[in-house]
Structure 1
Amino acid sequence: MTDPHQVVVVTGASGGIGRAVARAFGARQARVALLARGERGLDAAAEDVTRAGGTALAVPADVADFPQVDAAASRVERELGPIDVWVNVAFTSVFAPFAEIGPDEFRRVTEVSYLGYVHGTMAALHRMQPRDRGTIVQVGSALAYRGIPLQSAYCGAKHAIQGFNEALRCELLHDGSHVRTTMVQMPAVNTPQFSWVRSKLPHQAQPVPPIYQPEVAARAVLHAADHPRRREYWVGGSTVGTLLANAVAPGILDRYLARTGYRAQQTGAEKPPDRPENLWSPADRGRDFGAHGRFDEQATPRSGQLWASRHHGVVAAAGGVLAATALAVWRRARA
């Protein structure tokens, strides 16, 4: 049973998955610290948590800057109490062919989307290890295993997080630590990122269908936080299909994505000339973007695969019963 007053830190909490995760923890009456750069989005996220029944603490911070993250963690423990769960979500990206991305842009994506996770994990571990308890959840992506065109910087960061987290998990297991780390690999999610990350594409960027609502991702994160002994969770049938196809036939998948990846990541609409960007500064200075992006009509609010992933013991038992029944029927038919 989860502690209704646990202290949770969520980075990237002003929008998208982070916003949905913060709100979900608030519904548990948790004490939720929200880290992000944009104060407009942070304030709105704090209101969401409070309305849901939790306690909110908005802390403006750029995860690319470790001193800011470490200072935020100290403030959280001073004002809310010892951190029980730290969820790394914050990221940025550039939609463009690799040849059109500048070194400063690539570096910035890496600093936020990879080193931001490293910084958050460091800040959390420095406080959790002396107490020998706590959970760190890394929000990943199917792109941690399978790179796709037009997202080289983001894919590189997600691959890096995967390797970093695996190494850390091995070290914690070696030490016999009760601090846990787990990773949740996400599918395409309807978040505001497609309206605010830097894009050099001619048309409006979109997630590759099928698209899931951020609440699906939030349910997976909360389940992972409650059950962190499992090394990672896969969310969505598309994630499972992609990872399995990449394991079996990566070369074929290369060619398939080369043919379809550009078109699948853009709508037919031209890119708005005045769209905001969050690469160097927060995009939500003028307004709150919320948890959802512009693809509500195409996005699904549920995932049967997520239910199966959360209840894999039940699924395995049911599969065993079906197999035994089928075997019994077959033997009876042969008798």
Structure 2
Amino acid sequence: MQVEHPVVVITGASSGIGRATALGFARRGASLVLAARGAEALEAVADACRAHKGTRAIAVPTDVADPAAVSALAGRAVRAYGRIDVWVNAAAVAVFGAVEDVPLDETRRVLDVNLMGCVHGARAALPVMRRQGSGVLVDVSSVLGLVTSPYNSAYTMTKHALRAFDGCLRQELWLEGQRDIHVCSVLPATIDTPFFRHLANRTGRAVRAMPPVYTPRRVARAIRGAVRRPRHEIVVGPAGRALRVPAALSPGLVEKVLAVKVDRTHFVRGERAPHTAGTVFAPPPGPGSVDGGWHGTARTAGRRAAAATVVTAAFAAARRAMRA
């Protein structure tokens, strides 16, 4: 999309990937409509965006699980700026726990935010984009849309479903002849955001970001790249890209390898944690942040090497399975 100063709506803009994306677009003079549940954090990122010359930003507290609120968000964008060039669905929550241990209301809430929030966003943004004849819808999925993970079933379900939803949208738009409206799925690997400190936890074990860990700014660059040159899917992070072929060729093996990796590296060994609903039903307090404190150059280099070893072993086993 060749729009010099696009109008960009971002959900989940108060922290992590959404916040990094907002700041990245702000540096390029975009007009921003920022949405999240936490008003304090949302105003903080809007202020940071407005500090960049030529950037306009408005904060609209929004629960994406509420379709009326998301429709109102789109209306606010059009009233303020007259159009919507880019809509980024980045809001997400998660609950860690075995399937039978997670309260059903928490599972439903994850589905409502992560999946239905994107459905609501699409239904709000696409009519505007059809009227103006162009636009880019970006949904932040995950590499967990390609593979599965124990103790994270609700989140993983939503990311698989979101890839399918985006594919359906692309088909419908193509059949309509809408060649200038694009839908892109961005699939990050593990990202250094506050997400892992705020998730609901029903495991009794302390959760950490599973290595290797990449920066939110890397995902923000990928999102901006998807806007400049739309593609169906973008996987962010070498570890995520390396999983695609083994997952397709030998899904059973990859399932087992990742089960062990998650069990061993997604939790802090020997550290217990209280059962909590985290931010599934309420936003975290405070001004929010982009980073979660999981990333470090030396530490990440070691984690990447370990992850590469696991992926290489899975790929080699997949090739042997093909030859058998």
- TM bucket by the smaller chain? 0.7 to 0.9
CA distance in 1, matches of 2:194, 2:287: 10
Indicate which of 181, 204, 207 corresponds to 1:205.
207
The within-5 A match list for 1:195-274 is 195-228=197-230, 230-268=231-269, 270=271
Measure the CA separation in 1 of the matches of 2:215 and 2:108: 29
Provide the secondary structure at the position in 1 that maps to 2:88.
strand
Matched, 1:295 2:294: yes
2:14 paired residue number? 14
The answer (yes or no) to whether the contact 1:95–1:150 under 8 Å persists in 2 is yes
CA distance in 1, matches of 2:274, 2:203: 11
Q: CA contact under 8 A between 2:95 and 2:277: conserved in structure 1?
A: no
Cα distance in 2, alignment partners of residues 90 and 246 from structure 1: 26
Q: Distance in 2 between matches of 1:195 and 1:46?
A: 23
Contact residue 196 and residue 275 of structure 1 kept, 8 A:
no
**1:302-317 correspondence to structure 2 within 5 Å:** none
Cross-structure match for 2:309: none
> Once the 2 structures are TM-superposed, how far is the Cα of residue 272 of structure 1 from its aligned partner?
5.8
Contact 2:203 2:275 in 1 (8 A): no
Structure 2 equivalent of residue 185 of structure 1: 187
In the TM superposition, residue 201 of structure 1 has moved relative to its aligned partner by 2.8
- 1:52 CA drift (Å): 3.2
Instruction: Identify the residue that residue 168 of structure 1 maps to in structure 2.
Output: 169
Distance apart, 1:183 and its partner CA: 1.2
Q: Which amino acid in structure 2 is aligned with residue 199 of structure 1?
A: N
SS in 2 for 1:10: strand
- Alpha-carbon offset, residue 81 of structure 1: 2.4
**Equivalent residue for 2:25?**
25
Q: From the CA coordinates, give the structure whose radius of gyration is larger.
A: 1
State whether residues 8 and 84 of structure 2, in contact with CA within 8 Å, keep that contact through their aligned partners in structure 1.
yes
In structure 2, C-alpha distance between the alignment counterparts of 1:250 and 1:192, rounded to whole Å: 30
Contact 1:195/1:276 (<8 A) preserved: no
User: How much has 1:288 moved relative to structure 2?
Assistant: 2.0
- Asked if the contact 2:204–2:274 (Cα under 8 Å) also holds between the matched residues in 1, the reply is no
How far apart are 1:9 and its partner, in Å? Answer: 0.3
User: Within 1, Cα distance between the matches of 2:22 and 2:65?
Assistant: 20
* Residue 292 (structure 1) shift: 0.4
Distance change (3 Å), C-alpha of 1:299 and 1:41: farther
Measured against aligned partners, the alpha-carbon deviations of 1:166-193 in whole angstroms (never above 9, x if no partner) come to 0110111111102111111111100101
Show the counterpart of 2:117: 116
- TM-aligned CA deviation for residue 32 of structure 1: 0.8
Distance 2:150 2:184 in 1: 27
Which TM-score applies when normalising by structure 1? 0.85
In 1, Cα distance between equivalents of 2:76 and 2:47: 19
Q: What letter matches 1:208 in structure 2? A: M
Query: Where do residues 100-139 of structure 1 align in structure 2 (5 Å cutoff)?
Result: 100-139=101-140
Identity of aligned residues (%): 36
- Give, in angstroms, the shift of residue 275 of structure 1: 7.8
For the 8 Å contact 1:194–1:207, the answer to whether it is kept is yes
Deviation at 1:225, TM superposition (A): 1.1
Show structure 2 runs of 5+ residues with no match: 305-324
The answer (yes or no) to whether the contact 2:92–2:110 under 8 Å persists in 1 is yes
- In the other structure, the counterpart of 1:158 is 159
1:46 maps to 2:46 = yes
Q: Please state how far the C-alpha of 1:47 moved relative to its aligned partner.
A: 1.6
Aligned to 2:80: 79
One-letter identity of the residue aligned with 1:168? L
User: CA, structure 1 residues 110+2, in 2 after alignment: closer, same or farther (shift >3 Å)?
Assistant: same
Residues 138 and 183, structure 2, Cα contact 8 Å, conserved in 1: yes
What SS class does the counterpart of residue 188 from structure 1 fall into? coil
Between the aligned partners of 2:196 and 2:37, the Cα distance in structure 1 is: 18
Normalised to the residue count of structure 2, the TM-score between the two structures is 0.87
Partner of 1:333: none
Please state whether the residue corresponding to 2:141 is helix, strand or coil.
Answer: strand
Change over 3 Å in CA distance of 1:269–1:43 after alignment to 2: farther
How far apart are the structure 2 equivalents of 1:251 and 1:142?
Answer: 16
Q: CA deviation at 1:299?
A: 5.0
- C-alpha distance in 2, partners of 1:9/1:43? 15
State the partner residue of 2:196.
194
CA drift of 1:273 comes to 5.1
Q: What is the Cα deviation at residue 48 of structure 1? A: 1.8
Instruction: Give the direction of change, closer, same or farther, for the CA distance of 1:47–1:168 in structure 2 (3 Å limit).
Output: same
